Amino acid sequence: MVFYKLLSRLWKNPRKNMKEQYRAYLQEWRKEPVTVRIKRPTRLDRARRLGYKPIQGIILVRQRVKAGSHMRPRITKGRRPKAKRQTMILRKNYQLIAEERVSRKFSNCEVLNSYEVGNDGKFYWFEVILVERNHPNIVSKPQYAGVAKKKGRAHRGLTSAGRKMRGLRHKGKGAEKARPSRRANNRRL
């Protein structure tokens, strides 16, 4: 069996397949800062499937996102609005939130893709693959050059997690009203 296939099978259920190692990962990651640049991917099979290559100009970052409901802090001072606007937009998934935060932190890079590496009751961890916008290695390779040109991919919902949030996973019959966006379609009628 191929090495990458074995790796992906192990990561299907890490709590069952690699108990001690997975627990050690989580304990180590809890002590780290929220955003950490890493040298090599934790899940090599997934990273390679999403476009990662060990070349200069491609950066890997592990991002931690707090789990739970997406709530704004309670308004305690000043004049409060009638609706209080305490609940956040729940359409965004944790992965997209992680991509956006990494994109803000590394402003000279674009998000290529991301994947989940772990979660406990309190946090989710995602590894985000970034492409440096003006690096000669990236500009010369056509598969990365197109990504590097599109500024703010994560914030505009152009990554895989963003497309999922926008409802663009489906094509063809039955998905006509999803493009370019549900809101635009409703306004057109």
Q: Domain containing 150 — which CATH number?
A: 3.40.1120.10
**Position 188 in a domain:** no
**Position 185 in a domain:** no
Per-residue model confidence (pLDDT) at position 156: 92
**Position 166 in a domain:** no
- pLDDT (tens place) for every residue of the chain, 189 residues total: 688 999 899 888 888 988 999 999 999 999 999 999 999 999 999 999 999 999 999 999 999 999 887 776 677 777 777 766 666 666 788 999 999 999 999 999 999 999 999 999 899 999 999 999 999 999 999 999 999 998 999 999 999 999 998 888 888 888 888 887 777 878 876
**Position 187 in a domain:** no
Range of the domain at 152: 3-73+84-157
Query: How far apart are alpha carbons 116 and 160 in whole angstroms?
Result: 13
Spatial CB neighbours of 27, under 8 Å, sequence gap ≥ 6: none
**Position 12 in a domain:** yes
**Position 122 in a domain:** yes
Specify the number of domains making up the chain.
Answer: 1
Tokens 């950490």 label which residue? 36
Rounded to two decimals, the pTM is 0.86
User: Strand 58-66 and strand 35-38: pairing?
Assistant: antiparallel
Query: How far apart are alpha carbons 20 and 59 in whole angstroms?
Result: 28
Tokens 């499937």 label which residue? 49
Per-residue model confidence (pLDDT) at position 75: 72
**Position 171 in a domain:** no
Bridge-partner residues for 63, per DSSP?
Answer: 35, 126
**Position 29 in a domain:** yes
Per-residue model confidence (pLDDT) at position 83: 64
